[in-house]
Chain A
């Protein structure tokens, strides 16, 4: 079958695909959660907003769960090091996510304004905190994270939670948060009409400018002020994974190296800009479905930009650069990567097919009339 080196690269791509899938699918209902208290002014409006994602948020959340499972299986060292190192950040994500299943399912089961308002803000928290923290986490990955391995590959995190909240990482958090809210706004505009739709469109404009501006600023900062990492020993892509077998240095501007080496990769940041602007124009022109997919492409562009800037690094170590985790040395065995690839190739198309069917069945505008008619079964 495929050789080990190719499998490692394929799994880097597949993890990217899963992250992008998560951002597109779970991202739009998280963005809707963020916008909920602002675009829905009364209970009926809020129910309209919630019911645009009501039948789908649960399936969408599995992108996140499967992404986590795939990283566990394909990159166990990354899963172990990142989740334990970012302990409090991960717990915040987890606890924020607690508000979503119960918020969606329990909110409209009791007709009491305080009860419903509490869950509305719960859905806001559940939609806002995770993308914010993932952005902050990416901001820290780009700068390197303080951790090291001992000789038995036990990882120790050398920093603190507060160290994660540095200016560059916070900027990345803002970009991520604005981008996901933007995406949720585009989706909301597609699925609603009237005033809710207009409010969503206003939010899309504001968030669009915010994330495009933030993305530009982060790019300049990355080029001028953030050191990248380079493997200084000979790289053997097909070797057995051992993160301690290499030497690594920090080099200014190293994160731009891949764009010089493979100029085509510049299409990634470029597509982030073009697709982001296209999404705003398409939405203004009333073509909300096309705008949604333009927005999705923009998400892929941004995530791809972060990924390719670091390649082959996945989680560089700032305190002990030789412990850095790369595409070559943080992976599972060849057999596991092969099996997981087969499983992904079989099930991913099926997932996309039945997800598409579910959206088709539940398609069309969600209106106040729909909520009234389905008072007992809708969220």
Chain B
């Protein structure tokens, strides 16, 4: 089992936004929508240090992704083989509850397809090429790899130290995108774009009350595969917990 993750080296990043465009070109997101982002922060004073940095972000592929339970149709799931949080476009009904649930605002509803979209670490390229953003990053600030593999470059980068995740004591879904660099830069990011505490009420309504109806309504043709699939998701989540 692999667990894919990413390290973003804020000391290397110059905020050039090449990653955003490479991702856009790869996935053809609509005009104003991006699966990844680079938000410039500063120059601003953080304690006794001046900081000018970029918040390079995308789906964090969390260990406990709040988007998964929020999804009424199980379209969003955490892949047990890769640890990547994926969306099954056949099942997605575009309700937007996962968008609401994500503390990082990493998801959006594609206004054309009416389905949810987000970074999937370029899943269809997996094993062949690095994700588009990593490949184009002009300063090699983005590193992608298997966190479970202790010999991988990404594991080495993380074990060098001064590595953080964008999370707080209250909101920590276990992100797998790591940030390296001066602490003041990470602090500036968390101060400016804190992970959001989301009102989980709609998600609760979906999962407890409406979900059974939606699943029934999803159509008889799906039900066979859905039953098998849902079973596996439950299995998978259990397996995942065991591993940790």
Q: Do A and B bind each other?
A: no
